[in-house]
Amino acid sequence: MVTSAHEGMHRMFQERPEILTPVFRMLGLPLPEKATVEVVTGDATETRPLARHVDTVLRVGPSDGEDFLLAVEAQGKQDPKKEASWAYYVAYLQSKYRLPVLLLVVCRDRTTAKWAAGPFTCETRGWTAQRTYPLVIGPDNLPVITDARTAAEKPAMAAFSALTHANSPDADAILDAMGQALAGMTGEAADYFYQFLDVTLGETPAGDKWRNIMGFVNYFPGRGHVMEKAYLEGKDQGRAAGKAAGEARGILRVLEVRGLPVSDTARERITSCTDLARLDDWLDRAGTVTDVEELFTDDTELPQPSSEPA
pLDDT at residue 98, as a whole number: 92
Q: Over the stretch 160-218, which tens digit does the pLDDT of each residue have?
A: 888 888 888 888 899 888 888 887 777 778 888 888 888 778 888 888 888 887 765 33
Instruction: Give residues with Cβ within 8 angstroms of 236, minimum separation 6.
Output: none
Q: What CATH number has the domain spanning 4-137?
A: 3.40.1350
How far is residue 14's CA from residue 251's CA, in Å, rounded to a whole number?
A: 57
Return the closest-CA partner of residue 155 out of 196, 120, 123: 196
Find out whether 243 and 276 touch, Cβ atoms under 8 Å: yes
Q: How many CB atoms lie under 10 A from the CB of residue 160?
A: 26
H helices present in the chain, as ranges: 4-15, 20-26, 81-97, 110-116, 148-153, 155-164, 171-182, 187-201, 205-214, 226-257, 264-271, 276-286
Question: With contact defined as beta carbons under 8 Å apart, do 168 and 156 qualify?
Answer: no
For the chain, domain boundaries: 4-137, 148-214, 229-296
Q: What percent of the chain has pLDDT over 90?
A: 10
The answer on pLDDT for 254 being more than 90 is no
Residue 223 has pLDDT above 50, yes or no: no
Measured CA to CA in angstroms, residue 112 lies from 15, 21, 115, 116, 259 at distances of: 25, 23, 5, 6, 65
pLDDT value for 115: 93
Reported as a single tens digit per residue, the pLDDT across 73-85 is: 888 889 988 888 8
Q: Residues 225-249: pLDDT tens digits? A: 455 555 555 555 656 667 788 788 8
Asked if pLDDT for residue 310 goes beyond 50, the answer is no
Give the three-class secondary structure for 113.
Answer: helix
